[in-house]
Amino acid sequence: MHFNFHRQHPDWLVISLILLYLIPIWIFQYLPTQDGPSHLNNAQILSQYTNPAYNFQNIYDLRLEPFPNWLSYACLAVLMRIFPPLFAEKIFLSLYVIVFPLAFIYFLGAINPAKKPLGLFSFVLSIIISS
Residue 41 CB, nearest approach to other proteins (Å): 4
Nearest CB to other proteins, comparing residues 1 and 110: 110
The single residue among 7, 35, 52, 124 that binds other proteins, judged by CB under 8 A, is 35
Interface segment toward other proteins; rule CB under 8 A; list 4-12, 14-22, 100-108: 100-108
| Among the listed residues 29, 2, 12, 33, the one whose alpha carbon sits nearest the alpha carbon of residue 96 | 33
Per-residue burial over 93-117, b = 16 or more CB atoms within 10 Å of its CB, e = otherwise: beeebeebbeebbeebeeeeeebbe
3-state secondary structure of 49: coil
Site string for other proteins, 63-82 (x = CB under 8 A): xxxxxxxxxxxxxx------
